[in-house]
Amino acid sequence: MKLCCLNCFSSDSGTVDRTRRAHEKIGIYELKNGNFSAKFTNWGASLVSLIVPDKNGQLADVVLGYDSVKDYIKSSSPFGAIVGRVANRIKDAQFTLNGNLYKLVANEGHNTIHGGSRGFSRVAWRVSGYKKEGAVPYIQFSYRSFDGEQGFPGDLIVSVTYVLVGHDTMTVTMKARALNKPTPVNLAQHTYWNLGGHNSGDILSHEIQIFGSHITPVNLELIPTGKIVPVTRTPYDFLKPHTIGSRIKDLPNGYDINYVLNGGKGNKVKRAAVVHHKKSGRVLELTTNAPGLQFYTSNWKKNFKGKGGHIYKPHAGLCLETQGFPDAVNHPNFPSQIVRKGKPYSHSMQIKFSTTRSSA
């Protein structure tokens, strides 16, 4: 990993605040608690690496990514980033709020994905707090999004805090505060995981359990239809553990779907998923207060050159993006994502690692 730093670029112009952000220094920052360590960059508030042991104590980086911040800036894929202002897709790049029609930047055909062509994964965040080592190592990134950025209404202050808890757990807390206008907010942490190690091949042998008995089905453009349907007797049923490869064969394009997590409405913390890689023995357990989980199996059609020159082929990693439901701004029956002044947004994740001695 190259510990380098540079001035980022920006196509924005106008206010002093935008100019200041355009010259934020981009760097790599490490958190360490024994053998459990992580690296981040403030470009997109991204998780760059996470080192965890296997069942034999051998360490490996289980996060797909790049060697330098230059690669992150150039990349079209949000490896490890915080995506927003609204993660996932918005139909026709528009929505209506309080009688006003807002037209967004379309960056996936005529739809918007992950906040537009210059969403939160494509900007420099400020490092607003940092403790590399100690009992509770943490880093906090913050970003001020201006009224009209990518078409979204209102000024918004956003932060994300990553904390290493003990030698096996990372927490992620995403917060947002609207300063003047109501606005939709749906932040997601977009890490690609491979528990065998980022350079170990595909994730089809990973066993996964997802604690969601329903999904929000999508059309051919991956826009939700507005329905909420059960997963039983479908390839989306992971209520009991199954290997990804045993069911992905029934989905020619792989998994890219939002699960409605069990556990009640509101901000209750609930189990989202458990992933097990038998060969290494590594286990990832995810809990969250979000209502949904996007399960994505890196279904890209081209290869990416990643860390150490390793080539990431299709299905090289899996994403577990806790979130609000996609296109909720256009579906009144979905949980609201509208944030108003005095009613802030708070989204938490806990990712715990362990090992099991079971053989492959």
Q: Is 321 a catalytic residue?
A: yes
In Å, how far from its chain's centre is CA 340?
A: 23
Which DSSP state fits 120? G
Phi, psi of 320 (to 5 degrees): -125, 85
Q: Is 149 a catalytic residue?
A: no
For residues 147 and 181, is the Cβ–Cβ distance under 8 A?
A: yes
Q: Catalytic pick from 206, 315, 321, 347?
A: 321
- Please give the biggest Cα pair distance in the chain: 59
* Residues in a beta bridge with 285: 274, 352
Structure tokens at 323: 């979130």
Structure tokens at 78: 């949000």
> How far apart are alpha carbons 125 and 117 in whole angstroms?
16
* Amino acid found at 346: S
Count the Cβ atoms, other than its own, within 10 Å of residue 105.
15
For residues 139 and 129, is the Cβ–Cβ distance under 8 A?
A: yes
> How far apart are alpha carbons 127 and 142 in whole angstroms?
7
Helix (H) or strand (E) holding 154: none
> How far apart are alpha carbons 76 and 100 in whole angstroms?
31
Give residues with Cβ within 8 angstroms of 18, minimum separation 6: 10, 12, 146
> How far apart are alpha carbons 296 and 320 in whole angstroms?
7
Which DSSP state fits 92? G
> How far apart are alpha carbons 213 and 219 in whole angstroms?
20
Q: Catalytic pick from 190, 276, 277, 331?
A: 190
Phi, psi of 305 (to 5 degrees): -90, 115
> How far apart are alpha carbons 147 and 113 in whole angstroms?
19
For residues 341 and 179, is the Cβ–Cβ distance under 8 A?
A: yes
Which residues have a catalytic role annotated? 190, 321
